[in-house]
Amino acid sequence: MSWLSRLLSSADGEDGGDENNEASNDDNAEEDHAYDAHSIVLINITLIVCIFITYLIKRHRIYALPESAAALITGAIIGGLAKLTSPNDSLSLLEFNPEVFFFILLPPIIFEAGYTLRRKHFFANITPIVCYAFVGTIVSTFVIGGFTHLIGKTGLAPVDATNPMESLLFGSLISAVDPVATLSIMGSPELQCDPLLYSLVFGESVLNDAVAIVLFKTFRKYYSPDDPDLQGGDVPKAMFAFCYISVGSIVVGVLLGLLASFIYKHTQLYSYPKLETSLLFLFCYLCYSLAESLELSGIMALFFNGILLSHYNSYNLSETAYVTAEQIFATLATVCETLVFLYMGLSVFTGSFVGWNPIVSILMMAFCVLARACHIFPLTYLVNLCRKERDKISIKMQYVLWFVGLRGAIAFALAENMPGPNKQNYIANTLFICIFTTVVCGGVTERMLTKFGMKQPGNDTVDMDEGGNVYETLMTPDSSPRMTRSGSAGRIQEGIHGFWKRLDTMYLKPNFGGSGESRRHSTGGQHHRNTSNIVQPNDHDEDEDEDVTEMTRWMENSKGRARGNSGGGEEGGDQENGLYDPPVRNDTF
């Protein structure tokens, strides 16, 4: 903050007396307050502009300019204007703060991804998703890190290669893919992207971010500027620490998700929707902060926490709390995502490109492309060996997966935490790669999908626009053949699924919440609301067909009872208690 620099600079004049210092500090405090207020006004106005631009992009279907790219460009323009109009003023409030990103902006995005996840397709394609996210990220890290160290050793580019762990740190941070631009285009209802392709891209992105962060933190523990030589046991130790952090993070997320579901299941919080929503919000941040305090991965813990809460706790919430929570998290995720790319654009003019070497950045970009090819094609070949011919991931789909490995905010935030004397160079290279992939690669995604025939004819009325619904196409019966497997692998998967289904139905759902004994369903007959645009928790359960049928019967009974009480009665009582939901608007602007 600017007040800190002013305060430190005023420390040289302590000989002027205590009274003068106090008066000076008061004046500085007032100036700082006014400066911060002006900066926040600028950020708010810019955010409003970005959201309205997003509306125009969606409204007019401008596929060549993804929303994330628009926010990034807008931020760069605003940052440039601020620098031109006030070249000598501090732009500290406009600088990208990694701590703000990791503890304020990132948690809503990750939780919303887990909470609204279409679990049926995610777990049906869990093998390729895990291969791409875990094995692929590790391969990418060592390929990029190895080539970065190699060009420095051979003198092909001005890269400091004295510390190989520094190269691995860069390889891990730049391996964090963030295909926000691609996903927003793939989710367009007009394009009707292939459900399998979208599932693979989305699934890899949410897990890859967590894996990249864990790798970065692990390598950072073994980084020592005083001992640049890589010891023989450092890499195995780092891999063991990586496995420990990954498993520990998942355990924390699952346990806190079960704890929250148990509390909701066995209390009467459903009578107080405000408390329900508040407690759900606090449990999310508790999960993230607890994992971080234990030196685990908050992202991985929060993602699986969201999956558990969606699977069990959604049935324990009242109708009001369920819809409110889903919309709040979707809104927070949208705003935070826009802010992240906005700040990345602002960073262009706040010193991030100091000492930038375009040749090095182009080489780093080439290494990213090569590293993605080194794991997409070999891993897909291995995955296809266990899939039926009609379910194989086609070569065209592999080309798309190779192409959509965009880099974004996660990579840039990790670069801001890069240790060592070459931090500024890595920040500049990372920012260049993020801008290039988001604006250029994201902008040609629609053309690439058209060229490779990745569009799937379907129902144009399906709303796949909002991230909170995570694209209804993923739960259509047309995509169910994708979930079949062949040979022994298919029998093993069917056996595991059968065991899990029995365990879940007989023991877990009765204690933590589920479709069998949903308190929210039992009181649902008193709620009169239009649910045509609301996705119920059953819509993305493991046994969606049975659950959707059950929900349909429940909704028909609910509407019938509500019409019978249309003159007041129970409906009026619900409205007074805050349990009445107004009809969902279907009009457009």
Q: Give the list of residues 6+ apart from residue 76 with CB closer than 8 angstroms, or none.
A: 345, 346, 348, 349
The tokens 């991965």 sit on which residue? 297
Q: Two tokens at 507?
A: 């023991």
Under-70 pLDDT residues of the chain:
1-28, 31-32, 35, 86-94, 188-191, 226-234, 351-355, 455-493, 515-589
CA of residue 469 relative to chain centroid, distance: 14
- The closest of 172, 333, 311 to 253, measured between CA atoms, is 311
Distances (CA, A) of 230 to 3, 166, 235, 367, 425: 42, 10, 8, 22, 22
pLDDT at residue number 468: 37
Other CB atoms within 10 Å distance of the CB of residue 402: 15
**DSSP letters of 435-463?**
HHIIIIIHHTHHHHHHHTT-B----TT--
- Are 454 and 182 in contact by the 8 Å Cβ rule? The answer is no
Query: Is residue 177 classed as helix, strand or coil in its secondary structure?
Result: strand
Domains of the chain: 2-94 (no CATH), 98-483 (1.20.1530), 524-589 (no CATH)
Q: Classify 157 as helix, strand or coil.
A: coil
pLDDT in tens, 180-239: 777 777 776 666 788 888 889 988 888 898 899 989 988 888 887 766 666 656 678 878
For CA atoms 130, 132, 138, 141, the dihedral sign is negative
Beta bridge pairs of residue 396? none
Give residue 487's region: left, alpha or beta (phi > 0; psi -120 to 50). Answer: left
pLDDT value at residue 465: 42
DSSP string covering 194-246: -HHHHHHHHHHHHHHHHHHHHHHHHHHHT--TT--SPPTTHHHHHHHHHHHHH
In this predicted structure, what is the pLDDT of residue 286? 94
- Three-state secondary structure call for residue 193: strand
Could you tell me where the DSSP H helices lie in 452-536?
487-503, 509-512, 519-522
The whole-model pTM stands at 0.76
The CA–CA distances, whole Å, from 362 to 365, 371, 408, 442 equal 5, 14, 17, 18
Dihedral pair phi/psi, residue 365, rounded to 5°: -65, -40
388 DSSP 8-state letter: -
Q: By the 8 A CB rule, do 577 and 268 touch? A: no
